Amino acid sequence: MRVPQRVLTWDGCLNVRDLGGLPTSGGGHTRHGVLIRADSLDRLSGPGLKTVRACGMARIVDLRSPWEMPPDPHPFHGDQLYRQVCFIDETRDHERNRELEHTLADLYRGSLDRNGRRVAAAVAAIVDMSEGPVTVHCSAGKDRTGMLVAVVLDAVGVLRTAIAEDYAASEPAMRAMDAERPMDGSETQGIRRPWMRSARPETILETLEHLDNQHGGSANYLTSNGVTATQLHTLRGRLAPKRAEWR
């Protein structure tokens, strides 16, 4: 049986992966064609856009905030499948203390502590639709997308070593993005803090350990922030059924 590819080629985008085929604690694997992570779909070329539409996408969840949206509308703006679910909770962003962010894991831990309700809203947008592929993206597809994906994968039972490997797969894409274009003024933190452009496995492992210690684990983190038991059950059933098979 042919094993589907995890790395997807969507012309214009540089950081697209199908989250199928990841090993779970139950001995199975996550299903292909259910959840896809990506960098901004604004990068898509004409052929790339056709490729995405041909996938039969059921939903696209854009985690970016209004202030960072480009002048041109999102390529799926106006489509019923498009949802903008801002990862950053603007009502709590004042709580952020950048002086305490010495590593990317520090940044992630604080972000998840502040933005739990927004993470829960993104999960709801993923599951509250009919069957079909869902794409989640932010700008580069590494940080906000990486945190959300890690929490989701952990909550459905994916092995943490596999979650960390998937997260680390974004680092070559970051180098490609940096080579393709210079960072603009909104990205100056990446210049002052080079570690912000990294994607080391230990970063996401430390982040998940924080959820264990402070929130009782990823599943409890989601439910305590508003994800219902039914939504969590649906998420597990779609992405990581007990006897997941290649498809």
In this structure, what are the phi and psi dihedrals at residue 40, rounded to the nearest 5 degrees?
-55, 130
pLDDT digits (tens, 9 = 90+) for 160-175: 999 999 999 999 999 8
Q: Is the pTM of this model over 0.85?
A: yes
Which has more confidence, 246 or 62?
62
Q: What distance in Å separates the CA atoms of residue 195 and residue 170, rounded to the nearest whole number?
A: 13
Please check whether residue 214 is in contact with residue 206, taking contact to mean a CB–CB distance below 8 angstroms. no
List 7's β-bridge partners, or say none.
Answer: 17
**Banded model confidence at residue 245, pLDDT cuts 50, 70, 90:** very low
Domains of the chain: 17-65+73-89+98-228 (3.90.190.10)
**pLDDT (tens digit per residue) in 40-68:** 999 999 999 999 999 999 999 999 999 99
Residue located via tokens 């590819």: 5
d(CA 69, CA 73): 8
Q: Output 222 or 245, whichever has higher pLDDT.
A: 222
pLDDT of residue 182: 54
Q: What percent of the chain has pLDDT over 70?
A: 91
pLDDT at residue 196 in the model = 85
Provide CB contacts within 8 A for 169, sequence distance 6+.
7, 17, 199
> What pLDDT, on the 0 to 100 scale, is given for residue 56?
93
Q: Which of 118-122, 154-158, 179-183 has the lowest mean pLDDT?
A: 179-183
Higher-scoring residue by pLDDT: 233, 185: 233
Q: Is the pLDDT of residue 184 over 50?
A: no
pLDDT in tens, 198-230: 999 999 999 999 999 999 999 999 999 999 999
What is the structure's pLDDT at 145? 98
The pLDDT value recorded for residue 188 is 44
pLDDT in tens, 22-43: 999 989 999 999 999 999 999 9
pLDDT at 187: 47
Q: Which two tokens stand for residue 76?
A: 């799926």
Number of H helices, E strands in the chain: 10, 5
pLDDT of residue 192: 54
User: What is the phi/psi pair of residue 100, to 5°?
Assistant: -95, 0
Tokens representing residue 68 in the block = 């960072």
Q: Above 90 in pLDDT, residue 243?
A: no
Mean pLDDT, rounded, of the chain: 91
Q: Is the pLDDT of residue 232 over 70?
A: yes
Q: What is the pLDDT of residue 82?
A: 96
Per-residue model confidence (pLDDT) at position 101: 93
